[in-house]
Structure 1
């Protein structure tokens, strides 16, 4: 009975933890996108602007200027996606309570791998992240690795801030 009480006490914190975790994961992956784009000779804003392709079409991938219509919309879409993926990760974390950083990172990697598989294997092309319009497959894999690191780091931050184990 005590275990059930603790889990129920943590449940209200789950959405808050997902917002914190998703924010860190989003920032980590956006930083990776910008650095990888630059390394590939593209503009650093192109991958995040490409995320707005669900509204603007593939021409969004060619934009490298900072603007609300592409950059803000692309970032907001990416942030919402990161929070979406942080929810099942935080649910897993609340249920399994990983005791080591390695276990936490393994869970984050699994979540990121599922996200990649769904983003590019199931999702209709119009609603993919759009990074494929700008980056190589290798850079996309690295970005999903950054997402995993961000999920793990975000979970540790959420644990400290929200107090959810």
Structure 2
């Protein structure tokens, strides 16, 4: 099972990498292809959802952690839902995506935009990339603290009831990587 997860992760990264190479060629109407908010939010959403499902498959059920997010709308019954349903799976995925965009907006506003104002064109890309990566890790850490410790139980992500602490760390790490993708794309667009 461990090797399947590694292979699945590699496949997901190849798909994301291939998709990101197309970003500059086929932008969505009204969305800048290098927007940290949009691409970072979507990458954070997809990567963390992939980890939720992979770890869920190992620890409970594949969709259990995604379904658990729908407890915002449907209460405690969502925490026990294992099967794919429009009510729980679609709602959980939508709430997770919206939350990802919220944290990506914070990352864009607090980390990416100020950095790019100070360093509009980086002569050394790695010098500008490092603060973007550190900022993404910081925002992911803040998101974890807020999601798991500071908000009322009804507003927690819910998946913490279905996964181990190790899986939670991996989920928020993947989330941070997704945020960093958005920042790095925006940096790439400025070069």
Distance 2:134 2:107 in 1: 11
Q: Which position in structure 2 is the counterpart of 1:38?
A: 57
Structure 1 residue 94 corresponds to structure 2 residue 113: yes
Change (3 A) 1:158 1:20: farther
Q: Which position in structure 1 is the counterpart of 2:135?
A: 107
Q: Which runs of 4 or more aligned residues in structure 1 lie more than 6 Å from their structure 2 counterparts after TM superposition?
A: none
Structure 1 residue 74 corresponds to structure 2 residue 102: no
Change (3 A) 1:94 1:105: same
Q: Which position in structure 2 is the counterpart of 1:8?
A: none
Distance 1:31 1:156 in 2: 21
Q: Which position in structure 2 is the counterpart of 1:133?
A: 161
Change (3 A) 1:138 1:129: same
Change (3 A) 1:53 1:93: same
Structure 2, unaligned stretches of length 5 or more?
1-30, 120-124
Structure-to-structure mapping, 1:1-165, within 5 angstroms: 17-40=36-59, 42-91=60-109, 92-97=111-116, 99-100=125-126, 101-158=129-186, 163=189
Tell me if the contact between 1:17 and 1:164 (Cα under 8 Å) persists in the aligned partners.
no
Distance 2:107 2:176 in 1: 10
TM-score by length of structure 1 reads 0.82
RMSD of aligned Cα (Å): 2.2
Change (3 A) 1:132 1:28: same
Change (3 A) 1:164 1:57: farther
Secondary structure class of the residue paired with 2:83: coil
Tell me if the contact between 2:39 and 2:182 (Cα under 8 Å) persists in the aligned partners.
yes
Moved more, 107-116 or 58-67: 58-67
Paired residues, number: 150
Distance 1:27 1:56 in 2: 23
CA displacement at 1:155 relative to structure 2: 2.7
CA displacement at 1:20 relative to structure 2: 2.0
TM-score by length of structure 2 reads 0.71
Distance 1:58 1:24 in 2: 28
